[in-house]
Amino acid sequence: MVRYFKMNIELVLDSFLNTILDDANLEIEGQDHSIPTVAKAELGYQFNDSLKKKISPQEFEQKLENVLIEINNPLDEKEKTHYILLYYICYLNTNNPNKLEGLAELNLKKLEMLFENDEKSILKIYEAVKMRALN
């Protein structure tokens, strides 16, 4: 029996993007207002739009290379892998949650803590989730 976990995708994505990318400050009528940078806005848009259109994780990953070039790639390898991993997880959780069943490395209720892992651990989880997605 599949245990579907209702994930707040916006919260997961915002938490990740806020962790890795700073906002810009814009002064309006003498007051500073925090606004997302172009990179943060574009990464958020691409993620959400792709999920909405049910773009496969593999296609999303290929498309990401062009997006990163357009926004002068603000992500290091760990951040890029984590971003793609989040897409895989959100895509599968929404469209095929049974593929996430039994992954000991993955706790959907504490997804925001995933980024605290080192690059090697994130890559291991990414590979495990990707294998599930392809099968």
> Is pLDDT of 48 > 90?
yes
CA torsion sign for 15, 121, 63, 53 is negative
Q: Whole-angstrom Cα distance, residue 96 to residue 100? A: 8
Confidence (pLDDT) at 107? 61
Question: pTM for the full model?
Answer: 0.83
Worst-scoring range by mean pLDDT, 33-37, 65-69, 95-99? 33-37
- Per-residue pLDDT tens over the stretch 69-108: 999 988 999 999 999 999 999 999 889 888 887 775 666 5
